[in-house]
Amino acid sequence: MARVLMTGFAPFGGESVNPSWQAVSRVAARRADVAAVELPCEFSTSLPALRAAIEEHRPSLVVCVGQAGGRAEVTPERVAVNLIDARIPDNAGEQPVDVPVVPGGPAAYFTTLPVKACVAAIREAGVPASVSHTAGTYVCNQVFYGLMHLLPEFPGVRGGFVHVPFSPEQVAASGKAAPSLSVDRIADALEALADTAVKTTEDLVVSAGAEH
């Protein structure tokens, strides 16, 4: 069985590709210890699909990956909040506003990935990276929160969420003035993150705080 489960998302918001899924697929093609699963960008189906993937692959580590257009770095996420506030409809046309991911659930969950150590490893691989303290309020945050809420049902499994920039393909196709990273470099970053997270349980004691 796969040691690491990585998930990416289907394209959304009018895009033809999603670099999260492209990169996750590339990592799985490189490595026998990684399984890749594409999640729908839909509020009603993403978490059932995530649960099914965990039950099928029984990993020791789950790394969910999503697209954060506008970011210039690979950004492991630190905190998931119990909030959905969708700025655009999902791929099923749903646009929930100000509703919880899990009614009655905790206000937030912290990742169980060593995010600072992962950032250091990604940078060592030559890819720009930083810790992020917000996963937004769209399907990415829903999946991150849902993952952390779900993992107690699978003792010993750790997990978290990572955002990645647009790919050059997306920027070229749309004429966006936005930063991008190649899918190969994003895949390199995800490999470095997974290798670090598998062997590291205590994070680095270094500052990764934000001014705002």
Output DSSP code: residue 52: H
CATH number of 4-199: 3.40.630.20
The model carries a pTM of 0.94
Residues 12-43: tens digit of each pLDDT = 999 999 999 999 999 999 999 999 999 999 99
64, 77, 118, 191: which one is catalytic? 77
| pLDDT over threshold 80, residue 207 | no
Q: Which residues fall within 8 angstroms of residue 36, CB to CB, at 6 or more apart?
A: 6, 7, 8, 21, 24, 25, 27, 28
Q: Is 133 a catalytic residue?
A: no
Q: Which residues fall within 8 angstroms of residue 119, CB to CB, at 6 or more apart?
A: 76, 129, 130, 131, 208
pLDDT score at 55: 97
Residues 60-73: tens digit of each pLDDT = 999 999 999 899 99
Q: How do strand 158-164 and strand 79-81 relate by DSSP bridges?
A: unpaired
Return the domain boundaries, the chain.
4-199
Q: Is 140 a catalytic residue?
A: yes
pLDDT score at 102: 98
pLDDT score at 142: 98
Question: What helix, strand, coil percent values describe the chain, rounded to 5?
Answer: 35, 20, 45
CA angle 198, 138, 9 (to 5 degrees): 55
CA-nearest of 22, 15, 13, 47 to 141 is 47
Element (H, E) at 66: strand 61-67
Residues 84-136: tens digit of each pLDDT = 999 999 999 999 999 999 999 999 999 999 999 999 999 999 999 999 999 99
CB 157 within 8 A of CB 61: yes
Q: Is 163 a catalytic residue?
A: yes
With pLDDT > 70 as the criterion, what percentage of the chain qualifies? Answer: 97
| pLDDT over threshold 60, residue 1 | no
Token code pair at residue 93:
């046309």
pLDDT score at 212: 47
57, 118, 140, 191: which one is catalytic? 140
User: What is the residue-averaged pLDDT of the chain?
Assistant: 95
| pLDDT over threshold 80, residue 210 | no
163, 169, 191, 202: which one is catalytic? 163
pLDDT score at 105: 98
83 vs 5: CA distance, rounded Å:
25
